[in-house]
Each structure stands twice: as C-alpha cells, then as structure tokens.
Structure 1
Amino acid sequence: MTLPAGLTVAWGEVPAGVARRAVSRRLLGRLLPEARFVSRCPACAGDHGRVHVEGADATVSVSYAPGWAVVAIIRERTRLGVDAAPREVRGLERVRPDATAQAIDWARVEAVLKADGRGLAVDPARVEVRSDGTAWTATIRPGALDGATSSVVWRGWDLDAPDGLVAAVSLS
C-alpha cells in the first residue's frame, strides 16, 4: 500500500489500564512535536471529539479499535479521516444497506464521514465507495436537508492493520 506523500499513519497498542486517548496523544506528539492537540465537542463543549492541531500546519484524525489507537496526520490543512474496526464486526446491516457489507466497508465509510466533519450525523448509507483494490474513492449522496449536491470526491486507502483489525484513511 502506498499512501500519498506527506500522509503518515501510526499505530499504538493500548495496554490494560491505560487510557486510549493517552496513547493517541503520545503518537501525535511524536509525529508533530511542535503542535498542541485540542478536542472540543461542538455539542456540549466537552473535552472530547474531533482533534484539532494548534501550532503546526497539519491535520490529524484518530480512531480506536479494541486494544489499539491509530492516528493519521498530513502536514497541510485538508480534510482527513481514519477509522479502524475489528475484522469480525457484527451488525453492519443496521448502518449499511448491503447485507454483505464487511468491516473494511464500514472502516471506509467511517473514514469518509470523519473527513467530511459531520460524522454519523450523516446516514452512512449515503456514502458510495468505488473500490479498485486497496485504493478507492467515495462520494456522499446529498440528503433531503443538505440543500445542495456535494461535488467532493474523497480519496481513500485501506491500511495495514494489526491482526484482527481493518482500517482505512480518507482525504479530500
């Protein structure tokens, strides 16, 4: 798998008793030592949610799967999303209309929705992925409340992941 220039992905194992957020922040700090990372929920103003970078021209995304944290960074301001999931995840038929959906399908959709910035406020069934092996593209079909059509074509890549996991990264 070849990622675009400037895009870096790093994994960290989350030991028992250690907060997964501590692991992701440690990974981010190693990759962008000059930066500060801030999370602020737009709904409740709590110290959680999408991670924003201060002090560096970069964009980051974070995801967690059982026992692991994964971070993606790119040294530019763009829209970026990463997602990881257990390979044997169940219940995807509740969020994807295709009964044959697999965990990698979900990771791709979630990476796009994270990059888009609206996350699961958008119905995952609206994300259309066109795959060509481990590289793929996606669009988000407009919804009734969007008002306009979206012309954004998301580029994506499946990632090498620890045993038992799948992961994908997307950017515009």
Structure 2
Amino acid sequence: MALTFELDPAVGPALRDSVVDLWVDVSNAGGSVGFVPPVSRETVRPELVRHLVAMSEGRTRLLIGRDEGGEVVATVFIASNTHRLMAHWVWLHTVMVHPRHQGRGYGRDLLAAAADAARGLEGIEAIRLTCRGGQGLERFYASCGYKEVGRVPDAIRVAPGEDRDDVTMLLPLGVV
C-alpha cells in the first residue's frame, strides 16, 4: 500500500493535531526530529507553530503523506533558503514517517516526493538536510541519493556527556 502525498495541504486544527501527534510518536520512538524522548504534545506544539509561521510567510512548504485510511503518517517541511546567494537550493526539515509504518519504503517515497516538489520550484537545483549522527541516518539518506557534504563533530547534545555529530547531506536535482 502506497502513501498519497499532498504538497501545501489546507492547514486546520485536524491537520495541526495530526502533525503534532506524528511528531510526538516519532520522537518518543527515538526518531531524530529535534527532540529526545520523552516529549509531549505541549513540548512539540511550539516547534510546529514556528513552521506554520514560516509557511504563512511563504518561506516553508509542507508535504504530507497519508496512508490508505487517510491518516497523516509522513511529513517533511521544505524550506526556502532566504540568503540571496543560496536561493538555488532548499532545506528539508523534520522528515518523519510514523514508527508503525517504517520499514515499508515510505521514507524513500517521502524523500522522492520531496525531490519532485523541489524540482517543481523555480530555480531549485539541490536539496540539503541535516541529520543526527550515530543512528545510521547518513546511510539511509545516502541510499536515497544524498551525499554527505559536511559534519560537525559532537554538535548535538542529546544528554549530558552524550553528543552526536551534525551531518549535512546534499541531493543535486539534476536541474539545468
């Protein structure tokens, strides 16, 4: 069963709650999406609000993936690079697939849909994202065509004395 993707869905209370719930579930399952477990809806909601503000300002777009029942089970935020000398690439933030759907290829499908969305944006030649080292995410992104282009050792502190590398990955889109 494949996911159905939608770029720039209408954002109302139900979608906001679905994204918050997804973010909490992914975080509490150990996903590297800006938090360490345990997190609550109240912890995650302000971060979503920041993304929603960027969306309202036209700096960020939301791509969601729905399962066969219509539930939001995958998301990624596609953020424009506002620096005038770097406007030819976008950032991916908060790449999430619900834990109960992981291992089915939905992460690859989400990244492919994000690349398709980025190709549809005028002048975009590449996608960048960062990931938390030490969890094998670099290998996953590499298997999806991304290349590691930078690493800051011990930049992410998940707990006292427990640091992870901040890894930057790049996907050239082949746009001429």
TM score, norm. by length of structure 2: 0.36
TM score, norm. by length of structure 1: 0.36
